[in-house]
Structure 1
Amino acid sequence: MSFIPTIAPEIHALRPDFTALSILAESVPNTESDAHSLALLSQACAALNAAPWADEHLAAWRDAYRAFGAKPQRTPCSAEALRSRALRDGQLPAVNAVVDLYNAISVRYAIPVGGEDAAVYDGAPSLIRAIGGEPFDTTRDGQPKVEPVDPGEVVWRDAKGVTCRRWNWRQGVRTRIGAGTTRMWFVLERLEPMPIEALRQAAAELVEGLKRLGPNVTASTVLLRG
């Protein structure tokens, strides 16, 4: 089954500089957080200001959010949320080996990185502007909840519903990577002024980290532009 994400024309009309790199990884044996994944998180927190484009890149994402009606001070992009947590706490929470890996890359490169269970997708992911009312499965106060998305909101979705709200702010429950996930989809999302070569390097580090987890891991990448 083909698993090549699509980006709707209205996304590039909103941000012509948007470029994403999609990675489909197979036969990934996810594990609990270990010494290696904890070290990656620690190293990322120590390198928050290493990328010279970091502050401007996160500012570009704030502008992108405002362009479709979101309030980034309340719902920041995933990279800024992680960075803020690292600045506040001096560390990032461990989740599992795969999530630790892509969170560390997100913080070190100041880039939103999403990781999803590709096996539960109904069709390939699409990045669109919502009509409004599309279902998004989440939790509130520890209980499952389905909420409608806002008209014009930028969302990732499949045929069943929205999988990530406000571009890369909040992931849904249905497609989260868990202990039993072995077929995974990752997306790294870039705006100006982050260099395309830095986007490719971040993706290469993610693939390298995944292959460290098992000898049978395979990964295919696709650069997504307008």
Structure 2
Amino acid sequence: MYFQHSDALWSDHPGLVAGAVFATGITADASVDARVAEFSALAEARLAAGPEAEFPEIRAWRRTFSAMGLKPTQYRCAAESLLRRFRKEHALPRLHPLIDLCNAISLAYAIPVAVFDVARIDRGLEVRHASGDESYLTFSGETENPEPGEVIFADAAGRAHARRWTNRQSGHSAVRDTTGTVLIVAEAMHGSASADVPKLVSVIAGELSAAWAAVPETATLSRPSPRFEFPAQTGGS
């Protein structure tokens, strides 16, 4: 299986830095509360100095969304949405230990982090422009088609596993209690992304090792090296 961005995406967004983590052995009974609290405290301290809209990581994604023709205050990257909710409520809903952990890390770094159930992906994922006939499953169970040209995470079966790039993930490959194998993706556009994304990927890998005794495979992607390959799983259901 693979994860990659299309040549067109690299051409349109030369400042993109992407990281990926593949891991097996994930379960729903790991204890991550202490680590979630630590990463959340980092976000709390940063938000005390100013709102998330002023963070360079978020400002870069806002510029990217504007360049794609989207209103950045209507369609926010996942990290901004999490930070906005956390700033107002000082906590995030608990969903699954891995999601809770990755959400907290996303808060701390202000970088979007997506987690996919690999068994629900057909052959791999490519971040690319949509043709418009791909199928996207919402968390409420409704099926949508992305707009032609919209940036999506697409698999070989024509499923869109995320819409509007880092804005909204699909319910089809969302982590659930039965998830055992995952692909975790982090993407950033800000000036220090080339240093921040590899650090974030290393942090995620370390947390997976600590909480699940996993042995993750990781990669930092670039235009010269845009593809991350990882072991195939039974998927596409």
TM-score, structure 1 as length reference: 0.89
When residues 45 and 223 of structure 1 are mapped into structure 2, their CA distance, relative to the original with a 3 A threshold, is: closer
Question: Whole-Å Cα distance in 2 between the matches of residues 44 and 103 of structure 1?
Answer: 13
Instruction: Report the AA paired with residue 111 of structure 1.
Output: I
- Show the counterpart of 2:234: none
Counterparts in 2 of 1:49 and 1:194: CA distance versus 1, 3 Å: farther
Task: Tell me, yes or no, if structure 1 residue 78 matches structure 2 residue 78.
Answer: yes
For residue 65 of structure 1, what is the aligned residue in structure 2? 65
Following superposition, the deviation at residue 168 of structure 1 comes to 1.1
Q: Tell me the number of residue pairs that the alignment of Structure 1 and Structure 2 aligns.
A: 220
Indicate the residue corresponding to 1:22 in structure 2: 20
Q: How does 1:118-129 map to 2 (within 5 A)?
A: 118-129=118-129
Q: Quick one: distance in 1 between partners of 2:5 and 2:143?
A: 24
Tell me if the contact between 1:33 and 1:95 (Cα under 8 Å) persists in the aligned partners. no
Query: In structure 1, what is the equivalent of residue 216 of structure 2?
Result: 219
AA at the equivalent of 1:48: R
Task: Identify the residue that residue 179 of structure 1 maps to in structure 2.
Answer: 177
Change (3 A) 1:169 1:14: same
Q: Which digits, 9 at most, give the CA deviation of each residue in 1:40-77, with x for residues without a partner? A: 45424423349999712211101111222222211100
The one-letter amino acid paired with 2:211 is L
Gaps of 5+ in 2: 224-237
Give the aligned residue type for 1:198.
D
**SS of the residue 2:22 aligns to:** strand
Query: Does the Cα contact within 8 Å between 2:2 and 2:123 map onto a contact in 1?
Result: no
Query: d(CA) in 1 for partners of 2:101 and 2:33?
Result: 12
Specify the SS of the correspondent of 1:86. Answer: helix
CA contact (8 A) 1:62 1:76 kept: yes
Q: Which of 149, 152, 159 is equivalent to 1:152?
A: 149
Matches of 2:123 and 2:164, distance apart in 1? 20
* CA distance 1:146–1:22, shift in 2 (3 Å): same
- Cα separation, partners in 2 of 1:115 and 1:201, compared to 1, 3 Å: same
State whether residues 33 and 100 of structure 1, in contact with CA within 8 Å, keep that contact through their aligned partners in structure 2.
no
> If the length of structure 2 is used for normalisation, what is the TM-score?
0.85
Q: Which amino acid aligns with 1:186?
A: I
| 1:6 Cα deviation after fit | 1.6
One-letter code aligned to 2:99: V
Gaps of 5+ in 1: none
